Structure 1
């Protein structure tokens, strides 16, 4: 269960900061497609474990991350878009509100019940610093009450949107 929560945590942070921020662009594809296309090997049209790991950062235990990757990769140790979608469906798609609360609390580093820009910077620095430029646009999209913080209610809405 720990590995699933950590993996979901990385997916959520990646989606919140990269995918939502890019959703205002002309590319209106589904989030998984945009994420896949950003990381795929142009020669093969697939992602290998290296690209998969780069998607979600280096905070995860590499052996456990490899186990997750291998479940959805083909026989050539490559993952296509369907594999990524299946992985996301099996992790984010099966989350409960209790799981969402655990992830929210993990992001809320100072336990004030809100996710701040500082919380996101701390997490994104650990996952993939390249995504930091998308924190402000993402905050603007997901901060419905415009107080520059993501409440649990707003976070639950993001998570429910990801399931659709």
Structure 2
């Protein structure tokens, strides 16, 4: 009976150790895709609870568990912050380079007589792209018109062939 309990304990510890990386990746990706302003408040308890559970499974002794829980919670919050910083960088790149994209689309139309089906046809490198994610810039087109869009929970920006980017709250 003791061997069976020990096997289960070892299996749980291994599972907890393996769960740390997906949790950090999930925190990072959650940071790159912010929704409402309250997201930060929602994610903190999840990271802290998961960190506490993992710490209980991974370590022995009360002080080690507390230290492990604090370390894992800190790593989760740091991963979330890195993701949020990456989203902000990509969003600001959209603000800075939006008109460059419009100009590239106008040049493409002048050369080909229509707008491209995808942005990659007009631009060698698509801006507004967080690491490990797709571009924040949404593009839809027909032969005669196109729409560019990017935004977050606070403001959205739209542009077309006939209008520069407008910010809307």
Regarding TM over 0.5, the answer is no
More strand by share: 2
TM-score by length of 1: 0.28
More helix by share: 1
